[in-house]
Amino acid sequence: MESIISTFHIDWKIIVAQAINFIIVFVVLYIFALKPLNKLMAERSDKISKGLDDAKKNDAMLKATKAEYEDMLSKARLEANKIFQEGKKEGEAKKSEMIEKGKVELANMAENNKKALQAEKVKIVEEARKEMASLAVLAAEKVMADNNKPAKQGK
Amino acid sequence: MKEKISHETTLFAEPVSHYGNFTVTNALLSSWLAVLVIIVLALMLKKKLREVPNILQNIFEIILEGALDLCDQVTNSRALSMKVFPIAISVFFFVLINNWLGLLPIGGLGLLERGKEGMAFIPFLRSGTADVNTTIALAVMAVLGANLFGIFSIGIWKLFNKYVNLKALGQIFTKIRQDKTVIIVAPITFFVGLLELIGEFAKVASLSFRLFGNVFAGEVLLASMAAIIAYVLPVPFLFMEILVGVIQALIFSMLLVVYFTISATDHDAHEEHEKHEEERSHHREHIAVS
Protein backbone atom coordinates (compact mmCIF):
# COMPACT_ATOMS: atom_id res chain seq x y z
CA MET A 1 0.00 0.00 0.00
CA GLU A 2 2.81 2.34 0.97
CA SER A 3 4.58 1.67 -2.31
CA ILE A 4 1.40 2.37 -4.30
CA ILE A 5 0.92 5.65 -2.44
CA SER A 6 4.52 6.73 -3.02
CA THR A 7 4.63 5.54 -6.66
CA PHE A 8 1.46 7.33 -7.67
CA HIS A 9 1.95 10.24 -5.25
CA ILE A 10 -1.49 9.65 -3.78
CA ASP A 11 -2.33 12.70 -1.69
CA TRP A 12 -5.62 12.92 0.19
CA LYS A 13 -5.58 16.73 -0.11
CA ILE A 14 -5.51 16.53 -3.90
CA ILE A 15 -8.20 13.84 -3.78
CA VAL A 16 -10.39 16.20 -1.73
CA ALA A 17 -9.57 19.09 -4.10
CA GLN A 18 -10.57 16.96 -7.10
CA ALA A 19 -13.75 15.87 -5.31
CA ILE A 20 -14.59 19.54 -4.71
CA ASN A 21 -13.87 20.22 -8.39
CA PHE A 22 -16.34 17.54 -9.40
CA ILE A 23 -18.97 18.78 -6.93
CA ILE A 24 -18.61 22.30 -8.42
CA VAL A 25 -19.02 20.84 -11.93
CA PHE A 26 -22.08 18.87 -10.84
CA VAL A 27 -23.74 21.84 -9.13
CA VAL A 28 -23.00 24.26 -11.99
CA LEU A 29 -24.13 21.82 -14.67
CA TYR A 30 -27.24 20.90 -12.70
CA ILE A 31 -28.30 24.48 -11.97
CA PHE A 32 -27.29 26.22 -15.17
CA ALA A 33 -27.58 23.53 -17.82
CA LEU A 34 -29.42 20.34 -16.95
CA LYS A 35 -32.34 21.72 -14.94
CA PRO A 36 -33.31 24.59 -17.28
CA LEU A 37 -32.60 22.51 -20.38
CA ASN A 38 -34.68 19.60 -19.09
CA LYS A 39 -37.47 21.99 -18.19
CA LEU A 40 -37.31 23.61 -21.63
CA MET A 41 -37.22 20.25 -23.39
CA ALA A 42 -40.13 18.96 -21.31
CA GLU A 43 -42.13 22.09 -22.12
CA ARG A 44 -41.27 21.76 -25.79
CA SER A 45 -42.17 18.10 -25.73
CA ASP A 46 -45.50 18.97 -24.06
CA LYS A 47 -46.11 21.63 -26.67
CA ILE A 48 -45.28 19.20 -29.47
CA SER A 49 -47.53 16.49 -28.04
CA LYS A 50 -50.27 19.07 -27.49
CA GLY A 51 -49.74 20.30 -31.05
CA LEU A 52 -49.93 16.72 -32.32
CA ASP A 53 -53.09 16.12 -30.30
CA ASP A 54 -54.58 19.36 -31.62
CA ALA A 55 -53.56 18.38 -35.13
CA LYS A 56 -55.26 15.00 -34.63
CA LYS A 57 -58.37 16.68 -33.26
CA ASN A 58 -58.34 19.20 -36.10
CA ASP A 59 -57.87 16.39 -38.57
CA ALA A 60 -60.80 14.51 -37.08
CA MET A 61 -62.83 17.72 -37.04
CA LEU A 62 -61.84 18.45 -40.62
CA LYS A 63 -62.83 14.94 -41.64
CA ALA A 64 -66.14 15.24 -39.81
CA THR A 65 -66.76 18.66 -41.35
CA LYS A 66 -65.81 17.35 -44.76
CA ALA A 67 -68.11 14.37 -44.33
CA GLU A 68 -70.87 16.70 -43.16
CA TYR A 69 -70.17 19.00 -46.06
CA GLU A 70 -70.22 16.08 -48.50
CA ASP A 71 -73.40 14.83 -46.91
CA MET A 72 -74.99 18.23 -47.09
CA LEU A 73 -73.77 18.68 -50.63
CA SER A 74 -75.21 15.35 -51.73
CA LYS A 75 -78.45 16.13 -49.92
CA ALA A 76 -78.53 19.54 -51.56
CA ARG A 77 -77.79 17.90 -54.90
CA LEU A 78 -80.63 15.45 -54.38
CA GLU A 79 -82.91 18.23 -53.25
CA ALA A 80 -81.90 20.39 -56.18
CA ASN A 81 -82.42 17.48 -58.52
CA LYS A 82 -85.79 16.81 -56.95
CA ILE A 83 -86.73 20.46 -57.21
CA PHE A 84 -85.46 20.54 -60.76
CA GLN A 85 -87.43 17.43 -61.65
CA GLU A 86 -90.52 18.79 -59.97
CA GLY A 87 -90.03 22.11 -61.71
CA LYS A 88 -89.49 20.34 -64.97
CA LYS A 89 -92.63 18.27 -64.47
CA GLU A 90 -94.56 21.32 -63.41
CA GLY A 91 -93.18 23.24 -66.36
CA GLU A 92 -94.04 20.41 -68.69
CA ALA A 93 -97.53 20.24 -67.25
CA LYS A 94 -97.91 23.98 -67.45
CA LYS A 95 -96.55 23.96 -70.95
CA SER A 96 -98.94 21.27 -72.11
CA GLU A 97 -101.73 22.97 -70.23
CA MET A 98 -100.88 26.26 -71.88
CA ILE A 99 -100.59 24.59 -75.25
CA GLU A 100 -103.93 22.95 -74.65
CA LYS A 101 -105.38 26.26 -73.52
CA GLY A 102 -103.82 27.99 -76.51
CA LYS A 103 -105.25 25.37 -78.81
CA VAL A 104 -108.69 25.81 -77.27
CA GLU A 105 -108.32 29.54 -77.41
CA LEU A 106 -107.14 29.34 -80.97
CA ALA A 107 -110.03 27.11 -81.84
CA ASN A 108 -112.37 29.48 -80.08
CA MET A 109 -110.84 32.41 -81.84
CA ALA A 110 -111.09 30.61 -85.17
CA GLU A 111 -114.71 29.75 -84.44
CA ASN A 112 -115.44 33.30 -83.40
CA ASN A 113 -113.67 34.63 -86.45
CA LYS A 114 -115.56 32.22 -88.60
CA LYS A 115 -118.81 33.29 -87.01
CA ALA A 116 -117.87 36.94 -87.36
CA LEU A 117 -116.89 36.39 -90.95
CA GLN A 118 -120.11 34.56 -91.59
CA ALA A 119 -122.05 37.36 -89.96
CA GLU A 120 -120.07 39.91 -91.92
CA LYS A 121 -120.67 37.96 -95.08
CA VAL A 122 -124.36 37.78 -94.38
CA LYS A 123 -124.36 41.44 -93.58
CA ILE A 124 -122.40 42.30 -96.70
CA VAL A 125 -124.71 40.16 -98.83
CA GLU A 126 -127.69 41.80 -97.19
CA GLU A 127 -126.23 45.21 -97.73
CA ALA A 128 -125.30 44.28 -101.28
CA ARG A 129 -128.77 43.01 -101.79
CA LYS A 130 -130.19 46.24 -100.39
CA GLU A 131 -127.77 48.23 -102.50
CA MET A 132 -128.70 46.23 -105.53
CA ALA A 133 -132.36 46.80 -104.83
CA SER A 134 -131.90 50.49 -104.47
CA LEU A 135 -129.74 50.52 -107.55
CA ALA A 136 -132.39 48.58 -109.39
CA VAL A 137 -135.03 51.09 -108.25
CA LEU A 138 -132.78 53.89 -109.29
CA ALA A 139 -132.12 52.26 -112.63
CA ALA A 140 -135.80 51.67 -113.12
CA GLU A 141 -136.55 55.20 -112.23
CA LYS A 142 -133.90 56.39 -114.64
CA VAL A 143 -135.19 54.16 -117.39
CA MET A 144 -138.66 55.36 -116.80
CA ALA A 145 -137.50 58.89 -116.74
CA ASP A 146 -135.73 58.39 -120.02
CA ASN A 147 -138.80 56.81 -121.56
CA ASN A 148 -140.95 59.74 -120.55
CA LYS A 149 -138.55 62.36 -121.96
CA PRO A 150 -139.14 61.83 -125.81
CA ALA A 151 -142.82 61.89 -125.28
CA LYS A 152 -142.59 65.26 -123.81
CA GLN A 153 -140.21 66.38 -126.53
CA GLY A 154 -142.65 65.07 -129.12
CA LYS A 155 -145.32 67.10 -127.73
CA MET B 1 28.05 23.30 -22.89
CA LYS B 2 24.28 23.47 -22.91
CA GLU B 3 22.64 21.44 -20.12
CA LYS B 4 20.26 18.67 -21.26
CA ILE B 5 16.66 19.09 -20.17
CA SER B 6 14.84 15.87 -19.39
CA HIS B 7 11.15 15.54 -20.20
CA GLU B 8 9.74 12.33 -18.86
CA THR B 9 6.13 11.38 -18.54
CA THR B 10 5.93 10.47 -14.90
CA LEU B 11 3.38 8.14 -13.28
CA PHE B 12 2.38 10.94 -10.95
CA ALA B 13 1.32 14.52 -11.56
CA GLU B 14 4.24 16.91 -11.17
CA PRO B 15 4.00 19.74 -8.64
CA VAL B 16 3.77 23.20 -10.18
CA SER B 17 3.56 25.29 -7.03
CA HIS B 18 3.12 24.99 -3.28
CA TYR B 19 0.81 26.83 -0.92
CA GLY B 20 1.92 25.86 2.55
CA ASN B 21 1.12 22.20 2.92
CA PHE B 22 -0.88 22.07 -0.26
CA THR B 23 0.83 21.10 -3.50
CA VAL B 24 -0.69 22.27 -6.75
CA THR B 25 0.04 19.69 -9.43
CA ASN B 26 -0.27 20.17 -13.18
CA ALA B 27 -3.16 17.67 -13.19
CA LEU B 28 -4.97 19.76 -10.60
CA LEU B 29 -4.38 22.86 -12.74
CA SER B 30 -5.91 21.03 -15.70
CA SER B 31 -8.88 20.05 -13.58
CA TRP B 32 -9.40 23.66 -12.51
CA LEU B 33 -9.23 24.67 -16.14
CA ALA B 34 -11.74 21.92 -16.95
CA VAL B 35 -14.06 23.24 -14.23
CA LEU B 36 -13.70 26.75 -15.67
CA VAL B 37 -14.47 25.52 -19.21
CA ILE B 38 -17.56 23.69 -17.96
CA ILE B 39 -18.74 26.72 -15.95
CA VAL B 40 -18.30 29.00 -18.99
CA LEU B 41 -20.13 26.55 -21.27
CA ALA B 42 -22.95 26.10 -18.73
CA LEU B 43 -23.35 29.87 -18.29
CA MET B 44 -23.29 30.43 -22.05
CA LEU B 45 -25.93 27.75 -22.46
CA LYS B 46 -28.09 29.21 -19.70
CA LYS B 47 -27.80 32.70 -21.20
CA LYS B 48 -28.71 31.58 -24.70
CA LEU B 49 -31.42 29.13 -23.74
CA ARG B 50 -34.26 29.57 -26.24
CA GLU B 51 -37.38 27.70 -27.30
CA VAL B 52 -35.86 27.54 -30.79
CA PRO B 53 -32.35 26.27 -29.99
CA ASN B 54 -29.08 27.76 -31.27
CA ILE B 55 -26.05 25.62 -32.20
CA LEU B 56 -24.68 25.23 -28.65
CA GLN B 57 -28.10 24.39 -27.23
CA ASN B 58 -28.71 21.98 -30.11
CA ILE B 59 -25.45 20.13 -29.40
CA PHE B 60 -26.31 19.94 -25.70
CA GLU B 61 -29.82 18.73 -26.43
CA ILE B 62 -28.55 16.02 -28.79
CA ILE B 63 -25.98 14.86 -26.21
CA LEU B 64 -28.56 14.99 -23.43
CA GLU B 65 -31.22 13.03 -25.29
CA GLY B 66 -28.72 10.43 -26.53
CA ALA B 67 -27.22 10.03 -23.06
CA LEU B 68 -30.65 9.77 -21.44
CA ASP B 69 -31.66 7.03 -23.90
CA LEU B 70 -28.41 5.22 -23.15
CA CYS B 71 -29.13 5.60 -19.42
CA ASP B 72 -32.62 4.16 -19.94
CA GLN B 73 -31.11 1.07 -21.56
CA VAL B 74 -29.14 0.41 -18.36
CA THR B 75 -31.76 1.35 -15.75
CA ASN B 76 -34.84 0.14 -17.68
CA SER B 77 -36.74 2.93 -15.98
CA ARG B 78 -37.06 6.57 -16.99
CA ALA B 79 -37.76 7.60 -13.39
CA LEU B 80 -34.52 6.02 -12.18
CA SER B 81 -32.63 7.44 -15.19
CA MET B 82 -33.82 10.94 -14.32
CA LYS B 83 -32.34 10.55 -10.84
CA VAL B 84 -28.98 9.12 -11.89
CA PHE B 85 -28.56 11.06 -15.11
CA PRO B 86 -27.41 14.46 -13.69
CA ILE B 87 -24.55 12.77 -11.82
CA ALA B 88 -23.60 10.56 -14.77
CA ILE B 89 -23.58 13.40 -17.30
CA SER B 90 -21.56 15.60 -14.93
CA VAL B 91 -19.00 12.82 -14.55
CA PHE B 92 -18.98 12.39 -18.32
CA PHE B 93 -18.25 16.06 -19.02
CA PHE B 94 -15.73 16.38 -16.19
CA VAL B 95 -13.79 13.29 -17.34
CA LEU B 96 -14.08 14.20 -21.02
CA ILE B 97 -12.79 17.76 -20.65
CA ASN B 98 -10.03 16.54 -18.35
CA ASN B 99 -9.04 13.85 -20.87
CA TRP B 100 -8.97 16.31 -23.74
CA LEU B 101 -7.10 19.07 -21.91
CA GLY B 102 -4.04 16.83 -21.79
CA LEU B 103 -4.01 16.75 -25.58
CA LEU B 104 -3.77 20.52 -25.95
CA PRO B 105 -0.50 21.84 -27.35
CA ILE B 106 -0.26 24.25 -24.38
CA GLY B 107 0.99 21.19 -22.52
CA GLY B 108 4.26 22.36 -24.10
CA LEU B 109 4.28 25.34 -21.73
CA GLY B 110 5.79 24.65 -18.38
CA LEU B 111 8.51 25.12 -15.82
CA LEU B 112 12.15 24.17 -15.80
CA GLU B 113 13.11 22.73 -12.47
CA ARG B 114 16.37 21.42 -11.22
CA GLY B 115 15.95 17.90 -9.94
CA LYS B 116 18.23 15.13 -8.81
CA GLU B 117 19.10 14.26 -12.40
CA GLY B 118 19.57 17.75 -13.75
CA MET B 119 17.06 20.12 -15.36
CA ALA B 120 13.58 18.73 -15.85
CA PHE B 121 10.69 20.15 -17.82
CA ILE B 122 7.36 20.22 -15.98
CA PRO B 123 4.39 20.98 -18.23
CA PHE B 124 1.64 23.21 -16.86
CA LEU B 125 -1.07 20.99 -18.18
CA ARG B 126 -1.44 17.25 -17.81
CA SER B 127 -4.74 15.42 -18.24
CA GLY B 128 -6.52 15.64 -14.91
CA THR B 129 -7.42 11.99 -15.31
CA ALA B 130 -3.77 11.08 -15.91
CA ASP B 131 -3.34 11.59 -12.18
CA VAL B 132 -4.58 8.76 -10.02
CA ASN B 133 -5.70 11.24 -7.33
CA THR B 134 -8.41 12.56 -9.67
CA THR B 135 -9.61 9.13 -10.69
CA ILE B 136 -9.62 7.91 -7.08
CA ALA B 137 -11.68 10.95 -6.06
CA LEU B 138 -14.18 10.23 -8.83
CA ALA B 139 -14.30 6.50 -8.14
CA VAL B 140 -14.75 6.94 -4.38
CA MET B 141 -17.54 9.43 -4.98
CA ALA B 142 -19.17 7.09 -7.52
CA VAL B 143 -19.14 4.10 -5.17
CA LEU B 144 -20.15 6.13 -2.10
CA GLY B 145 -22.82 7.89 -4.14
CA ALA B 146 -24.17 4.55 -5.39
CA ASN B 147 -24.45 3.23 -1.83
CA LEU B 148 -26.10 6.43 -0.59
CA PHE B 149 -28.50 6.19 -3.50
CA GLY B 150 -29.16 2.59 -2.48
CA ILE B 151 -29.96 3.69 1.08
CA PHE B 152 -32.48 6.26 -0.21
CA SER B 153 -33.97 3.80 -2.71
CA ILE B 154 -34.28 0.50 -0.81
CA GLY B 155 -33.47 1.49 2.76
CA ILE B 156 -30.44 1.16 5.00
CA TRP B 157 -31.40 -2.27 6.40
CA LYS B 158 -31.67 -3.91 2.98
CA LEU B 159 -28.39 -2.33 1.85
CA PHE B 160 -26.68 -3.42 5.05
CA ASN B 161 -27.94 -6.98 4.49
CA LYS B 162 -26.50 -6.89 1.01
CA TYR B 163 -23.02 -6.75 2.54
CA VAL B 164 -23.50 -8.26 6.01
CA ASN B 165 -26.30 -10.69 5.31
CA LEU B 166 -27.77 -11.20 8.79
CA LYS B 167 -31.09 -12.01 7.17
CA ALA B 168 -29.53 -15.09 5.54
CA LEU B 169 -28.01 -16.19 8.83
CA GLY B 170 -31.37 -15.72 10.53
CA GLN B 171 -32.98 -18.00 7.97
CA ILE B 172 -30.98 -20.90 9.41
CA PHE B 173 -33.27 -20.76 12.45
CA THR B 174 -36.51 -19.81 10.72
CA LYS B 175 -36.41 -22.09 7.68
CA ILE B 176 -34.50 -25.11 8.93
CA ARG B 177 -37.70 -27.16 9.36
CA GLN B 178 -38.98 -26.48 5.87
CA ASP B 179 -35.69 -26.65 4.03
CA LYS B 180 -32.65 -28.49 5.40
CA THR B 181 -30.34 -27.12 2.73
CA VAL B 182 -30.58 -23.66 4.27
CA ILE B 183 -27.84 -24.69 6.71
CA ILE B 184 -25.42 -24.77 3.76
CA VAL B 185 -26.94 -22.03 1.62
CA ALA B 186 -27.24 -19.37 4.35
CA PRO B 187 -23.52 -19.24 5.31
CA ILE B 188 -22.61 -19.17 1.62
CA THR B 189 -25.02 -16.27 1.09
CA PHE B 190 -23.48 -14.53 4.10
CA PHE B 191 -19.98 -14.88 2.66
CA VAL B 192 -21.20 -13.73 -0.76
CA GLY B 193 -22.35 -10.58 1.03
CA LEU B 194 -18.88 -10.08 2.46
CA LEU B 195 -17.47 -10.58 -1.02
CA GLU B 196 -19.83 -7.84 -2.21
CA LEU B 197 -18.32 -5.56 0.44
CA ILE B 198 -14.83 -6.32 -0.84
CA GLY B 199 -16.22 -5.83 -4.35
CA GLU B 200 -17.06 -2.24 -3.46
CA PHE B 201 -13.36 -1.56 -2.80
CA ALA B 202 -12.50 -3.43 -5.98
CA LYS B 203 -14.91 -1.14 -7.81
CA VAL B 204 -12.96 1.91 -6.58
CA ALA B 205 -9.69 0.35 -7.68
CA SER B 206 -10.99 -0.82 -11.07
CA LEU B 207 -12.75 2.47 -11.86
CA SER B 208 -9.81 4.65 -10.89
CA PHE B 209 -6.99 2.58 -12.38
CA ARG B 210 -8.85 1.84 -15.62
CA LEU B 211 -9.36 5.53 -16.36
CA PHE B 212 -5.92 6.54 -15.13
CA GLY B 213 -4.23 3.72 -17.07
CA ASN B 214 -5.93 4.52 -20.35
CA VAL B 215 -5.34 8.26 -20.25
CA PHE B 216 -1.80 7.95 -18.91
CA ALA B 217 -0.99 5.34 -21.57
CA GLY B 218 -2.29 7.77 -24.19
CA GLU B 219 0.07 10.48 -22.92
CA VAL B 220 3.00 8.08 -22.92
CA LEU B 221 2.09 6.94 -26.42
CA LEU B 222 1.98 10.52 -27.71
CA ALA B 223 5.30 11.35 -26.07
CA SER B 224 6.88 8.22 -27.54
CA MET B 225 5.58 8.98 -31.02
CA ALA B 226 6.83 12.56 -30.74
CA ALA B 227 10.23 11.20 -29.75
CA ILE B 228 10.36 9.09 -32.94
CA ILE B 229 9.19 11.74 -35.43
CA ALA B 230 8.20 15.00 -33.76
CA TYR B 231 5.07 16.91 -34.93
CA VAL B 232 4.10 14.36 -37.64
CA LEU B 233 3.83 10.94 -36.08
CA PRO B 234 1.72 11.96 -33.04
CA VAL B 235 -1.03 13.45 -35.24
CA PRO B 236 -2.97 10.23 -36.02
CA PHE B 237 -2.49 9.15 -32.40
CA LEU B 238 -3.87 12.51 -31.28
CA PHE B 239 -7.09 11.72 -33.14
CA MET B 240 -7.13 8.30 -31.54
CA GLU B 241 -6.65 9.87 -28.11
CA ILE B 242 -9.57 12.23 -28.75
CA LEU B 243 -11.67 9.12 -29.32
CA VAL B 244 -10.17 7.33 -26.32
CA GLY B 245 -11.06 10.37 -24.21
CA VAL B 246 -14.72 10.09 -25.24
CA ILE B 247 -14.79 6.30 -24.80
CA GLN B 248 -13.21 6.40 -21.35
CA ALA B 249 -15.56 9.16 -20.19
CA LEU B 250 -18.48 7.12 -21.52
CA ILE B 251 -17.28 3.90 -19.85
CA PHE B 252 -16.79 5.64 -16.50
CA SER B 253 -20.22 7.28 -16.55
CA MET B 254 -21.96 4.12 -17.80
CA LEU B 255 -20.36 2.06 -15.02
CA LEU B 256 -21.52 4.70 -12.56
CA VAL B 257 -25.07 4.32 -13.86
CA VAL B 258 -24.75 0.52 -13.56
CA TYR B 259 -23.56 0.78 -9.94
CA PHE B 260 -26.36 3.20 -9.06
CA THR B 261 -28.93 0.92 -10.72
CA ILE B 262 -27.63 -2.17 -8.89
CA SER B 263 -27.72 -0.29 -5.59
CA ALA B 264 -31.27 0.90 -6.19
CA THR B 265 -32.49 -2.61 -7.01
CA ASP B 266 -34.14 -4.53 -4.20
CA HIS B 267 -32.75 -8.05 -4.75
CA ASP B 268 -35.18 -9.72 -2.35
CA ALA B 269 -38.15 -8.18 -4.10
CA HIS B 270 -36.60 -9.09 -7.44
CA GLU B 271 -36.09 -12.71 -6.35
CA GLU B 272 -39.61 -12.91 -4.97
CA HIS B 273 -40.96 -11.51 -8.22
CA GLU B 274 -39.00 -14.13 -10.17
CA LYS B 275 -40.29 -16.85 -7.83
CA HIS B 276 -43.86 -15.68 -8.41
CA GLU B 277 -43.31 -15.63 -12.16
CA GLU B 278 -41.91 -19.17 -12.01
CA GLU B 279 -44.86 -20.38 -9.96
CA ARG B 280 -47.25 -18.70 -12.32
CA SER B 281 -45.62 -20.32 -15.38
CA HIS B 282 -45.73 -23.71 -13.60
CA HIS B 283 -49.39 -23.16 -12.86
CA ARG B 284 -50.04 -22.29 -16.51
CA GLU B 285 -48.19 -25.39 -17.66
CA HIS B 286 -50.21 -27.51 -15.23
CA ILE B 287 -53.46 -26.08 -16.57
CA ALA B 288 -52.30 -26.64 -20.14
CA VAL B 289 -51.42 -30.30 -19.39
CA SER B 290 -54.69 -30.99 -17.56
Q: How far apart are CA B166 and CA B6, in angstroms?
A: 58
Does A29 contact B32 at a Cβ distance shorter than 8 Å? no
Q: How far apart are CA B50 and CA B108, in angstroms?
A: 39
Q: How far apart are CA B101 and CA B125, in angstroms?
A: 7
pLDDT truncated to tens, each residue of chain B (290 aa)? Answer: 456 666 677 778 888 888 888 888 888 989 999 999 999 999 998 898 888 888 888 888 898 899 999 999 999 988 999 999 999 999 999 999 999 988 887 556 666 777 666 676 777 788 889 899 999 999 999 999 999 999 999 899 988 888 888 888 888 888 888 888 888 888 898 999 899 999 999 999 999 999 999 999 998 898 888 888 878 888 899 999 999 999 999 999 999 999 999 998 876 666 666 666 667 776 766 666 65
Average pLDDT, chain A: 87
Q: How far apart are CA B197 and CA B206, in angstroms?
A: 14
- Pairing label, strands B5-6, B110-115: unpaired
pTM for this one?
0.74
Chain B environment of A32 (Cβ under 8 Å):
42-43, 45-46
Does B91 contact A22 at a Cβ distance shorter than 8 Å? yes
Q: How far apart are CA B95 and CA B129, in angstroms?
A: 7
* Partner-chain residue, chosen from A14, A25, A41, that has the shortest CB–CB distance to B94: A25
DSSP-assigned beta bridge partners for residue B15: B25
pLDDT tens, position by position, A59-99: 999 999 999 999 999 999 999 989 988 888 888 888 888 88
Does B46 contact A36 at a Cβ distance shorter than 8 Å? yes
Which residues lie closer than 8 Å to B208 by C-beta, 6 or more apart? B132, B135, B136, B138, B139, B140
Is A17 an 8 Å CB contact of chain B?
Answer: yes
* Partner-chain residue, chosen from A18, A28, A30, that has the shortest CB–CB distance to B137: A18
Determine the distance from the C-alpha atom of residue A24 to the mean position of all C-alpha atoms in its chain, rounded to a whole number: 75
Chain A environment of B134 (Cβ under 8 Å):
14, 18
Does B51 contact A8 at a Cβ distance shorter than 8 Å? no
Q: How far apart are CA B241 and CA B245, in angstroms?
A: 6
Q: How far apart are CA B134 and CA B248, in angstroms?
A: 14
Prediction ipTM score? 0.86
Q: How far apart are CA B60 and CA B54, in angstroms?
A: 10
Q: How far apart are CA B250 and CA B66, in angstroms?
A: 12
Q: How far apart are CA A17 and CA B132, in angstroms?
A: 13
* Partner-chain residue, chosen from B13, B41, B86, that has the shortest CB–CB distance to A30: B86
